[in-house]
Structure 1
């Protein structure tokens, strides 16, 4: 019996083209119909999702997609889910789906895919990516792996995937990690073990989390303005091992006293948790006054993680959640 796969189509570049000189946008059913029957090794049901362009995806849309993915596996009996999504913010939505999947991740594959080229381009990458994503979602090899991104036949763990090319056929990389696998000859060929499953996400993630890139001389008022505007938490993108300017330490300490979590990430890609050396490095000092380590996540993923960690609503709960990430 063929695996049952749900296709959630948010349109974007994979569905865009022109016909008779006029722009057209393909539905999920249209995308499926364009694939050769022998490239769809599953019983696929298409479901169109109203969504903003990938470069402007709202937290509400991210949450809706993550919930639908989870429910499709946990409640609706699907063996896998494929989400077509704009590449600009695909890694954030995929990571949120990964965090929210919980036990549903054991029931089937969760695969995000898209395209960097329109459907009517001579070198369109969408059909191949979609066919590979459906194959991967239907393959039992992905059960328990969590959400992945499929592009150029490679499967990247949502936790590790980063867009590195806005126009090429291989827009994502897992570096410094290896891709989880490749889709070859109609099946998934594993290449590496998936990352550990994240802590459970209890309750609705918080959508109002600020992300601020630090720089030499950054005024602390930028952090205060974000919190004054309603941010429930702040992610700081630092340098090196997560270093932030000393001029922010007082503000970080004040936020900690107020119960507002501050997570420190780095603009560098690392393959583990930076060492904590209290009193010797800026990242150690920031943590001494209450900042939370991003656990090797890049800043945009740390923001998504903080959204999930804030569901219980307390600083202590956020700190404990990140310690298990």
Structure 2
């Protein structure tokens, strides 16, 4: 039986034509026509989704895509969903899709892809990435792997993928982890294991979560002003294993007393250890009540805290919900 695939096309660079007289965005159907029919091997339904440019994508757009992906598999009976997306924030949208997929991750394939070159550029990578994404989305070997990002024939887990180089078609990386798989022609070769599935979301994600990069000499009032402006949670991007300046500790303590969760991530690659498991100097923030992001990059930690805070009502508060969610996800 031919697999049924829903293609959600959001435009952006891979769909943009710069040829004089033909400037503008191609539709999802136009993108699909750029892929040789013999390369598809699936029945593809195309839906164009109105979306901001990737660099300006809002939480509402990301959430709408995540919900559409989930319902396409669980309610509409599609075997797989492919989303075309701009590369700037592709990893954040992919991660939110992954966190909200729930049982859809085991019932169908979910792949997001994009391109760093325009549709009519010489050697455009968009059509190839789209063709490979459709192959991967319908591959039984990847069922249960959750949301994946397809670039240059490689499939990266949403939890690990990052755009490490915006100047090349090979810019996405899962390092230090291996890609989950690669596409070879019309088949998939697995390479590494997918990460563990995340806990189920307890409710709609909380969009008002701030990400703050710490730096020597920063004024602690920056944190309180963010909360005064409405932030329901804060992710601090620290250094090393998760160090933040000691003069922020009093403010971190205040935020936690106000039931505003503080998650500490690092700008570096780190182990999957919690703050409480790290050496005393690094783990001091945990003694104040801060939560460790484990191995999540700061931008991913923000998405995770948004999802964690969706269960705040059931958990009895924002801090309790955040601690519970991060504790359950190993």
- TM-score, L = length of structure 2: 0.96
Q: CA deviation at 1:275?
A: 6.2
**Is the CA contact (8 Å cut-off) linking 1:242 and 1:274 kept in structure 2?**
no
**Is the CA contact (8 Å cut-off) linking 1:108 and 1:142 kept in structure 2?**
no
Q: CA deviation at 1:278?
A: 7.1
- TM-score, L = length of structure 1: 0.97
Q: What secondary structure sits across from 2:296 in the alignment?
A: coil
| Unmatched tracts of structure 1, length 5 or more | none
Residue aligning to 2:4: 4
**Is the CA contact (8 Å cut-off) linking 2:275 and 2:285 kept in structure 1?**
no
Residue aligning to 2:97: 97
Q: What secondary structure sits across from 1:211 in the alignment?
A: strand
The 1-side partners of 2:140 and 2:220 are apart by: 49
**Is the CA contact (8 Å cut-off) linking 2:146 and 2:157 kept in structure 1?**
yes
Q: CA deviation at 1:18?
A: 3.0
Q: CA deviation at 1:279?
A: 7.4
Alignment root-mean-square deviation, CA = 1.2
**Is the CA contact (8 Å cut-off) linking 2:275 and 2:292 kept in structure 1?**
no
Residues 282-308 of structure 1: CA deviation (Å, up to 9, x unaligned): x31101001000021010000000000
Residue aligning to 1:319: 323
Once the two structures are superposed, the pairs formed by residues 247-266 of structure 1 within 5 Å of their partners are 247-266=247-266
Residues 106-136 of structure 1: CA deviation (Å, up to 9, x unaligned): 1111100000000111021001000000100
**Is the CA contact (8 Å cut-off) linking 1:256 and 1:262 kept in structure 2?**
yes
Residues 77-128 of structure 1: CA deviation (Å, up to 9, x unaligned): 0111000000000000000000000011111111000000001110210010
**Is the CA contact (8 Å cut-off) linking 1:213 and 1:237 kept in structure 2?**
yes
Q: CA deviation at 1:270?
A: 2.3
Residue aligning to 1:143: 143
Once the two structures are superposed, the pairs formed by residues 213-224 of structure 1 within 5 Å of their partners are 213-224=213-224
Q: What secondary structure sits across from 2:35 in the alignment?
A: coil
Residue aligning to 2:241: 241
The 1-side partners of 2:274 and 2:256 are apart by: 21
Distance 1:28 1:243, change over 3 A: same
Q: Within the alignment, does 1:25 sit opposite 2:25 as a pair? A: yes
The 1-side partners of 2:89 and 2:224 are apart by: 26
Residue aligning to 1:184: 184
Once the two structures are superposed, the pairs formed by residues 112-127 of structure 1 within 5 Å of their partners are 112-127=112-127
Distance 1:171 1:278, change over 3 A: closer
Residue aligning to 1:82: 82
The 2-side partners of 1:122 and 1:27 are apart by: 20
The 2-side partners of 1:270 and 1:178 are apart by: 16
| Unmatched tracts of structure 2, length 5 or more | none
Once the two structures are superposed, the pairs formed by residues 205-216 of structure 1 within 5 Å of their partners are 205-216=205-216
**Is the CA contact (8 Å cut-off) linking 1:176 and 1:271 kept in structure 2?**
no
Residue aligning to 2:288: 289
The 1-side partners of 2:97 and 2:302 are apart by: 14
